[in-house]
Amino acid sequence: MKKSILFCLLVLITFGLQAQKESKDIVAIKEVIEKETKAFFEIDYTTWQAQWAHVPHSFWSFADTTDVNFFSGWDEINKGFEKYFKTSKPSNAKIEREWVSMNVYGKAAYVVFKQKVEDETIERGEQAEVRFLEKINGKWKIVTVAVIRKPKEH
């Protein structure tokens, strides 16, 4: 009887510790995504690039009714955004985000959310976004960004 109770307690503690670990990971993942987005609009290249995994399998894509763009590999992503970070002006964008799902698989995470961005110059339609992250040297880094912007409703 004592062994059964002890076993049950150990199982509960193990599951509790696993849930706590995932919660810390989820908080850290959200922070990375929020930092990357904020740095993008504030034209803070150093912070923006620090949220990314600088690996050949990194991928960035964007699609809306007017255009489709993508960059494959960190070098191409970095080069693709070079002009943006040199010529754009910082924005005090208001970002509304609705987390749809977050799945953590050990050292990988798949995140889906909806996002709406408004700033002083433009109001954009809602965007469906996906992030794939990897835990590298104990820190979550973005590997994939996929954005599909819905047309703005009039």
Per-residue pLDDT of the chain (154 residues; tens, 9 = 90+): 566 555 544 444 444 445 545 589 999 999 999 999 999 999 999 999 999 999 999 999 999 888 899 999 999 999 999 999 999 999 888 899 999 999 999 999 999 999 998 877 766 778 999 999 999 999 999 999 999 987 766 5
CA distance 6 to 14: 12
CA distance 127 to 54: 25
What are 58's two structure tokens? 């990194």
| Beta-sheet pairing, 68-72 with 139-149 | unpaired
| Beta-sheet pairing, 94-105 with 108-118 | antiparallel
pTM of the model: 0.82
- Residues paired with residue 35 on neighbouring β-strands, in sequence order: none
**What pLDDT sits at residue 9?**
42
Run of H or E residues at 110: strand 108-118
**What pLDDT sits at residue 129?**
96
CA distance 146 to 70: 9
**What pLDDT sits at residue 63?**
94
Listed in sequence order, the residues at least 6 apart from 49 whose beta carbon sits closer than 8 Å to its beta carbon are 78
